[in-house]
Amino acid sequence: MSFNEFDVQPGRSFNELVHELVRRIPEGRVATYGSIARALGAPRKAREVGWAMANCPADVPAHRVVNRLGCISGGAITAGSARWARLEAEGVRLDGLGCCNLRRYEWDPTAAARGVITDP
DNA sequence: GACTTGACTAGAC
DNA sequence: AGTCTAGCCAAGT
């Protein structure tokens, strides 16, 4: 069973599913690359999620996606960079390295993934 | 058309 | 308990 009920439907690229899912991350919350990949039924595709974030439309809140340690990834990780500022503006507290407390802010995308996959 | 690179993670040492 | 290695998969060169 390489795929589960969250399997990717034809016509929608994995990349787009990622975008849709990320759009559903609530304000002030974050999700990890791995969680998103897992929620879409592809636990090994975390890297592709990262790629999807690097090439995402402006309406995708990519700043709410962090790595497994709760840290902002992708270069330009400095206080004042767009993602950093946006996260703080939404109430996510970041330490000096741009990391947040996942215990507190992590949002599990699994439930929303159902909606993304089944939504037209 | 093969080889390298990358906004990752999990497991081994 | 910190570091290193291997695995994955698509895009870019």
pLDDT digit string, tens, across residues A59-115: 999 999 999 999 999 876 676 688 999 999 999 999 888 999 999 999 999 999 999
Rounded, the Å distance between the CA of A34 and C1' of B8 is 7
Strand C nucleotides with an atom less than 7 Å from a protein beta carbon: 7-12
- Maximum distance among all alpha carbons in chain A? 45
Instruction: Summarize pLDDT for A11-64 with one digit per residue, the tens.
Output: 568 999 999 999 999 999 999 999 999 999 999 999 999 999 998 999 999 999
CA distance A28 to A84: 12
CB A55 within 7 Å, strand C: yes
Q: How many CA atoms lie within 13 A of A94 on its CB side?
A: 26
